[in-house]
């Protein structure tokens, strides 16, 4: 059975998050490039769902591990073969494009995440930040 699973591809349950919708019919891990692309997608999702400020060092090395995989799919895309590849492997063309786009725009996505994170923490910690310097001098107020 394991041989047949590898030959025809294992199917995974539904994953719906951050604009990705991979149904159990979409995911076949028998193709190594597809499996690596899905690993990249999972890394990006985990990174952007973290409740912390993300430094470039937190993702730069790991995201660069997927460069050759993204390159493989970009070659398919520019040669006009990506749709056929997706059909043959039972995967969603639009989802593959989304992963490629997220990979190529990872810095913008992280910057947006960090801006949202800082803004939410400013709201959450407003009382603390407004009174942090009261012990030193009550007339000193922090600006935004």
Kindly report which listed range (18-32, 104-118, 122-136) carries the lowest average pLDDT score: 18-32
Per-residue pLDDT, 108: 97
Per-residue pLDDT, 123: 85
Q: How confident is the model at residue 84 (pLDDT cuts 50, 70, 90)?
A: very high
Q: What is the pTM of this model?
A: 0.70
The overall average pLDDT reported for the chain is: 80
How far apart CA 72 and CA 37 sit, in angstroms, is 10
Q: How confident is the model at residue 13 (pLDDT cuts 50, 70, 90)?
A: very low
Give every CB contact of residue 14 below 8 A, 6+ residues apart in sequence: 21, 22, 23, 24
When pLDDT is averaged across residues 108-126 and rounded to a whole number, the result is 91
Render pLDDT for 42-66 as a digit per residue (tens, 0 to 9): 999 999 999 999 999 999 999 999 9
Q: How confident is the model at residue 124 (pLDDT cuts 50, 70, 90)?
A: confident
Comparing 67 with 126, which gets the higher pLDDT?
67
CB neighbour class for 1 (10 Å; exposed up to 12, middle 13-18, buried from 19): exposed
Per-residue pLDDT, 31: 85
* Residue percentage of the chain with pLDDT more than 70: 73
When pLDDT is averaged across residues 27-43 and rounded to a whole number, the result is 84
């Amino acid at each position: 059975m394991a041989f047949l699973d590898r030959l025809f591809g294992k199917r995974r349950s539904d994953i719906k998050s951050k604009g990705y919708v991979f149904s159990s019919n979409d995911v076949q891990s028998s193709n190594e490039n597809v499996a690596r692309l899905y690993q990249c997608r999972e890394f990006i999702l985990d990174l952007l769902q973290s409740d912390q400020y993300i430094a470039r060092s937190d993702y730069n090395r790991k995201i660069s591990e997927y460069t050759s995989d993204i390159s493989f799919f970009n070659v398919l895309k520019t040669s006009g073969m990506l749709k056929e590849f997706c059909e043959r492997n039972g995967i969603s063309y639009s989802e593959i494009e989304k992963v490629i786009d997220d990979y190529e725009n990872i810095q913008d996505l992280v910057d947006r995440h960090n801006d949202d994170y800082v803004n939410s923490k400013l709201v959450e910690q407003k009382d603390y930040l407004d009174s942090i310097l009261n012990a030193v001098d009550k007339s000193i107020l922090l600006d935004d």
